Chains A and B, each alone.
Chain A
Amino acid sequence: MTPSTLFSLSQVSFKIGEKSILNSIAFQVFQNELLCITGPSGAGKTSLIRLLNGLQSPSSGTLLFHGKTLSEMDFTLLRKKVGMVFQNPVILEGSVRDNLSLANRWAQSESGFQDTDLMLSLDKVGLSAIPLEQNASDLSGGEQQRLNLARVLLNQPEVLLLDEPTANLDGKQADKILDLVRDLTQSYALTTVMISHDEARVRQYGDRILYMDQGKFVSS
């Protein structure tokens, strides 16, 4: 059975000012796969996944999600379905609870996250031992990265975009995060796009590996 296509990009280019970041990219992301994109710094990997979350739009080309042009979609809805974890975990002042329940600030009162939702999400990322009251800035780098992942999972996304999730971690911590990403992808039928410059490490995790250089996909 052919897996269904979630994202489909054709002739996608992206520029910042006059500088070309992505050059006529074409590729697909299939449902329930763990796709790893590697390549050197400055290859355009981060720009590419920012396009998928709608944080920026292509300068030209077509970008479809579930067969629909991204620009036709409600961006706040799209971003809930396509969650993104940034390279440097963003931790705000306050407790673990404050950091997880950010969306409660703008949710309708009845649809806000309860403590049970937050604890379930912490459990998914292996942080069940961390109390909700704990000051989030006291967590280690690895724990902060997991907290960011838990925050994204609360939205129950279809797609998980991970920008260099292991960049700030030592080897052992990095493997643990990657194990977690693989488990989450399988257990919750997620589609994951992970970018990393550490090709050797992600090679053993990805269902598919793509290489990028100078704003294009190249064969390894």
Chain B
Amino acid sequence: MTQSFYIISWMDVLVSFVLIALSIGLIRWMKIGLEQSLIIGTIRTFLQLGLMGYVLTWFFTQDNWLFMVCLILGMILIAGFEGTRRQKEYKIPHLFWILTGSILTAVLIVLGIILKFILDVEPWFYPYAMIPIAGMIIGNALNSSTLAVNRFIGEMKHREHEIEMLLSLGASPRNAIDDAMKSALRAALLPNINGLMMVGLVQLPGVMTGQILSGVDPLIAVRYQIMIMYMWISTVAITDILVLLLVYRQFFTEKAQLKKSLLRSAL
């Protein structure tokens, strides 16, 4: 058998609507009442990703480092904005800049190492590598830092008396929240570490599946996937630790007093 690379035409994609029709049939049969949402979601997926294909094609032809840097910065700002929106009930001061700065730091470190030392691309802003990898880093950093902040605030609320007791003994705010922070970071990192344990045993990860379907040698696809797994864990570690180290300060006054009203304002 020779290695083949099957191109999907737009017509083929339309045929895949059969799968949606099947799902709608099942939903109607079970009277779950989600037909309308599914139809809207189906159309949005088609339009958003279709449009993204054309946009990416255009991006990939841009042979301009300044354009690429602005593009990545724009993606980071959007992630910072989205992360702040997700946490809006907490009213944490400076959260937008905390998220944006932390994600930017993770991108600089992780993307820098990958582009320069692993892929060694030429030019350094090679769009085919830079855009998808930066996208993965930013998306992952956004999701995990949002969860870490949520978890951290939950821990601080749960441990409010403990934190004040430690402060009253002369602990600095950093020492007083140490257990809460460790607990939140453990919760944020553990799923990713478990992911490292289980990868490939139950299902093939998305990137690798996509590459194999596109005709890439599985051994090459596997190497990419390994790099991406390591990239994910380092992104989560860098972003979550930075974000929490900056977020906890917002919950204390300069006199090392817990801002109880801010903590309680959070749902």
Question: Given A76-B256, A79-B167, A88-B161, are A106 and B261 also a contact pair (CB < 8 Å)?
Answer: no
Interface: A44 (CB within 8 A):
no
> Is A103 a contact partner of B169 (Cβ separation < 8 A)?
yes
B223-267 contacts to A, CB under 8 A, are 253, 255-258, 261
In the complex, what residue of chain A is closest to B162 when comparing beta carbons?
A90
Query: Which A residues are closer than 8 A to B by beta carbons?
Result: 16-17, 53-57, 71, 75-77, 79-80, 83-84, 86, 88, 90, 92, 102-103, 105-106, 148, 151-152, 155
Which residues of A sit under 8 angstroms from B261, Cβ to Cβ? 16-17
C-alpha spacing A69/B162, complex, angstroms:
27
Which residues of B sit under 8 angstroms from A16, Cβ to Cβ? 261
Interface: B195 (CB within 8 A):
no
Main DSSP-derived SS at the A contact region: mixed
C-alpha spacing A88/B258, complex, angstroms:
18
In the complex, what residue of chain B is closest to A17 when comparing beta carbons?
B261
C-alpha spacing A148/B164, complex, angstroms:
13
> Is B168 a contact partner of A83 (Cβ separation < 8 A)?
yes
Interface: B120 (CB within 8 A):
no
> Is A155 a contact partner of B169 (Cβ separation < 8 A)?
yes
Supply 18 A–B pairs (Cβ within 8 Å), ascending by A.
A54-B257, A55-B167, A55-B258, A57-B255, A71-B255, A75-B257, A76-B171, A76-B256, A77-B170, A79-B167, A84-B168, A86-B164, A86-B168, A102-B169, A103-B169, A105-B171, A105-B175, A151-B169
Contacts A57-B257, A75-B257, A76-B172 known; list 12 others, CB within 8 Å: A55-B164, A79-B169, A86-B165, A86-B168, A102-B166, A102-B171, A103-B169, A103-B171, A148-B165, A151-B169, A155-B169, A155-B170
